[in-house]
Structure 1
């Protein structure tokens, strides 16, 4: 047992990815983080930004030295100098805006959750397929080096048979955080913003779920404030998952096998995470720390650039079929906890 060690990540250097000219659709907080990471850690080019407010788009463009600011999303997706569109709007807008881009022949990177529900996700996927353009969910965690360490552990059977996954994600975002999180019309709540991380991680480890159970506490507006979720895979492995926007939780994950376990600390989904390989007697056998702990969103952008340049329509690290399966699970969870969004 003492001979067990963690494998090295195979993650390519994002600076080596081919350069694409990016158009940012909706210049909010996540778009600002995305733009900052791209400029700091890649050779990607921020070409244009669009908002319904030209002033807001221009302010964002000025902050990042972006050449073109558009006052409409239609102008952005029709811009001949834009190679790929990053859809950074609230979940409620993803379907309309991603399909606007694909109809214009533009590849898309769509923020997670990919859409409000699986029906909308399927529409985006089908529109990209019909247009012959690349599409991917911006589940940035999948592309970080420490997650490739986890991936290799699973591929190599390092942990033995995996029986249990635990993951939580809690941030103190309600009631004093972004207003959209309490707004059903914007698909607010803990699940699509925070719960998507542990649910996606559990699927990454366990594969398709054959059973999902969930309960929640709702806010006065009817969105979910916190969720407790259980999932079961076809071989009987289980995931115990949680999400809350009421308080900061440890936000850690564990993957437990018959030979050893992985403990992923602080926050498990981001670049500051530490992966520890732990024996069944609690002895730490090895650990991995990402070299770059300041940024993370640039890894997904580099993956998009590689796949688009190669002429591929999706990424093997975040396949569209898996995005759709995860959206099905989120729909199942919402049906059980009684959360519906206007217009569904």
Structure 2
């Protein structure tokens, strides 16, 4: 059962596929309602609103931010617009859940955090995997010492997307690239289990126009010396599993970015398999966390605090530096890669 966590009235900024996924999950949160949608054009807003039965339709993000019928906004626009859209909503007094990655770089994330603090509003990066039942179970097992001291982990996320320079994941002007779009999942997984990360090395493959990365592999070291190997790819289907290995066993999480199963292997014992299905599509849990925090007067989630989003952004910046992936700071557009 879901408790009434405050009955938030949601507005949605952006009408792409991820916005549809979020609303599908939100249907499983009885206390939540969607009262408004904003897009760059009124026609797009109307189309989305008709599909989901949303009463308010706005032809600009600024209009939605000013709506008195919205408590919290879900920012679902492409990566380069996360920063300006979030600032607009925070400065209008709205709580904000912003899609991952939170922004294009650590400087932008720091400005978003400063705006949340100045406006006394809730802000969270939509790392939905943090709140999945299996993710919480894995964290509990690791913290309880089920695999002993963590020594090593691996995680990868890859999909074979046909190359099209206009596709969002290959389009530099839309914040494309495997690292920002897919690599955030392995990075967040590593950070959760290894703590503060240090980038030891990184390598990448480039798109045919040499504007974005299509495959990036990273070696990281955690704060206690444990290491991790992380990969992401937009041109190759990867196993998409994660493994955390310790001094007494290891945990395997198939399809870890949207996991419903985890397998525990303790040294000298039979494997144990755990199943934790979603109530809807998995996005419902992050929405419930936003509502819980807002109802409690909290301005950041303990499972995805501002410091964690800043950490992930800084690590992504470091990986781009090591791998030679450069985004020009003036307009957050990419420049040709060497």
Q: Would you call these one fold, judging by a TM-score over 0.5?
A: yes
Q: Say which is worse superposed, 170-179 or 256-265, in terms of deviation.
A: 170-179
Distance in 2, Cα, partners of 1:177 & 1:85: 30
Question: Is contact 2:205–2:213 with CA below 8 Å preserved after alignment?
Answer: yes
5+ residue gaps, structure 2? 333-338
Q: Does 1:301 align with 2:290?
A: no
Pair 278,145 (structure 1): closer, same or farther in 2 beyond 3 Å: same
Distance in 2, Cα, partners of 1:176 & 1:108: 32
Counterparts of 1:266-277 in structure 2, within 5 Å, are 267-271=255-259, 273-277=260-264
Question: Is contact 1:276–1:284 with CA below 8 Å preserved after alignment?
Answer: no
2:120 to 132, 150, 168: 132
Pair 134,293 (structure 1): closer, same or farther in 2 beyond 3 Å: closer
Question: Is contact 2:39–2:61 with CA below 8 Å preserved after alignment?
Answer: yes
Kindly state the Cα deviation for residue 41 of structure 1 after the two structures are TM-superposed: 4.7
Q: Report the 3-state secondary structure (helix = DSSP H, G, I; strand = E; otherwise coil) of the residue aligned with 1:239.
A: strand
TM-score by length of structure 1 reads 0.92
Pair 124,216 (structure 1): closer, same or farther in 2 beyond 3 Å: same
Q: What is the match of residue 266 of structure 2?
A: 279
1:166 to 154, 157, 166: 154
Q: What is the match of residue 89 of structure 1?
A: 77
Kindly state the Cα deviation for residue 176 of structure 1 after the two structures are TM-superposed: 5.1
Q: Does 1:250 align with 2:239?
A: yes
Kindly state the Cα deviation for residue 126 of structure 1 after the two structures are TM-superposed: 0.6
Pair 14,96 (structure 1): closer, same or farther in 2 beyond 3 Å: farther
Question: Is contact 2:36–2:57 with CA below 8 Å preserved after alignment?
Answer: yes
Q: Say which is worse superposed, 85-94 or 333-342, in terms of deviation.
A: 333-342
Question: Is contact 1:170–1:245 with CA below 8 Å preserved after alignment?
Answer: yes
Q: Aligned Cα RMSD in Å?
A: 1.6
Question: Is contact 2:157–2:240 with CA below 8 Å preserved after alignment?
Answer: yes
Q: What is the match of residue 328 of structure 1?
A: 314
Q: Say which is worse superposed, 201-210 or 35-44, in terms of deviation.
A: 35-44
Question: Runs of 4 or more off by more than 4 Å in structure 1?
Answer: 13-16
Counterparts of 1:186-197 in structure 2, within 5 Å, are 186-197=174-185
Q: What is the match of residue 56 of structure 1?
A: 44
Distance in 2, Cα, partners of 1:311 & 1:83: 13
Q: Does 1:74 align with 2:71?
A: no
Question: Is contact 2:205–2:216 with CA below 8 Å preserved after alignment?
Answer: yes
Pair 174,14 (structure 1): closer, same or farther in 2 beyond 3 Å: farther
1:224 to 205, 213, 216: 213
2:86 to 74, 91, 98: 98
Q: What is the match of residue 336 of structure 2?
A: none
Question: Is contact 1:212–1:333 with CA below 8 Å preserved after alignment?
Answer: no
Distance in 2, Cα, partners of 1:18 & 1:177: 43
TM-score by length of structure 2 reads 0.93
